[in-house]
Amino acid sequence: MLLNVLLTYITILSTCTSASPVLVAAKRGITEMVKRIVEQHPGAVMDKDKDKKNIVLLAVEHRQVHVYTYMLGIKTIESVFRQVDKDENSALHLAAMLSHNRPWSIPGAALQMQWESNWYKYVHSMNLEISSRINKDGKTAEEVFSESHDTLIKDGVNWLTSISQSCSTVAALFATVAFASVSTVPGGLDQQSGIPILGNRPTFQLFAISSLVALCFSVTSIVMFLAILTSSFKVRDFERGLPVKLILGLTSLFIAIVSTLVSFCVGDFFLVAEKLKFMVYPIYAVMCFAVTFFAITHYPLYIGLIKLTIKKIPDPDLLIT
């Protein structure tokens, strides 16, 4: 029923735009509609709009991943992947162009650059025969990609630099606090044996471990963000290198923050264990709530970044706005 309604809508829309229904569906990313039309009318795959763009070219231009992937599965129409538009742009040329017709929103110029690079790489890997073709302006797809993404690369560099500088400053602060915690022993040391006086308490072991974890991960976070700041920021760096460093840096920083808070709470508990322990519990709870709230609000973006980095085929369903 829904497909019939969509088909009627697509038919009406195609009449207004002077394009066939299958081309309108491909442009708007309605994969089920494209599949139904192609199955019932196989000749529809040869339809072109006024710019001589077929289903594949429109899907690539408008970043409709599912439509393009479906067309890859139809082995009998390989010729449609080698066709060009009126400007002699192949599918790879259109993938190389910076498109503003995105069916999703990606936060951050660096992540946008990562997706654009992965999309270009995916289209190129699926059709190597068109990699050396030139368009009407005498440019290859690689040259088009470099020229059209120049501004986005600069914005991505500025975005990563700003985040890395801010986070490395915070990480350095937590590293300083963690180092002070590691070198400070609650309750002091026994003057004769040098063993911590409170060393037999289970909470003391938690303090020692959390302080060490905070120090290690805060230093790791600093190293990751410094690696980003000193990167060459080439196109291939945006595909995996820079995103992986960003993920490791953010993960290490969050672990360092949590470990530092645990270390502080345990160390403070030694001071108020007898008289004020029931009064500090609400304060500890507020601190934990603040960290939990921060993690929940940034969890979708963090998971989306991980999936975007790991998955080879760029999928808009994985992107979190």
Question: Stretch 226-238: mean pLDDT, rounded?
Answer: 90
Residues 6+ apart with CB under 8 A from 98: 116, 148, 149, 152
Read off the tokens for 257. 């923050």
User: Are 172 and 112 members of one domain?
Assistant: no
State pTM to two decimals: 0.79
Q: Output the pLDDT for position 76.
A: 57
CB 229 within 8 A of CB 219: no
User: Are 304 and 166 members of one domain?
Assistant: yes
Q: Output the pLDDT for position 246.
A: 92
Number of domains in the chain: 2
239 inside domain: yes
User: Are 243 and 300 members of one domain?
Assistant: yes
User: Are 43 and 171 members of one domain?
Assistant: no
User: Are 191 and 304 members of one domain?
Assistant: yes
3-state SS assignment for residue 89: coil
Residue 134's beta-bridge partner residues? 140
- Residue 90, domain CATH: 1.25.40.20
144 inside domain: no
CA distances (Å), origin 273, targets 201, 265, 276, 279: 12, 11, 6, 10
Q: Which of the residue ranges 7-16, 26-35, 64-73, 111-120 would you say has the lowest mean pLDDT?
A: 7-16
In terms of residue numbers, what domain contains 55?
Answer: 2-138
Q: What is the pLDDT of residues 60-108, one digit of tens each?
A: 998 888 899 888 887 656 778 888 899 999 999 999 998 776 656 677 7
User: Are 228 and 287 members of one domain?
Assistant: yes
Name the band, by pLDDT with cuts 50, 70 and 90, for residue 177. Answer: confident
Read off the tokens for 199. 């060393």
Rounded to an integer, what distance in angstroms lies between the CA atom of residue 24 and that of residue 67?
12
Residue 196's beta-bridge partner residues? 189
- Asked if pLDDT for residue 1 goes beyond 50, the answer is no
Q: What is the pLDDT of residues 242-278, one digit of tens each?
A: 999 999 999 999 999 988 888 887 776 666 655 656 6
Q: DSSP class of residue 29?
A: T
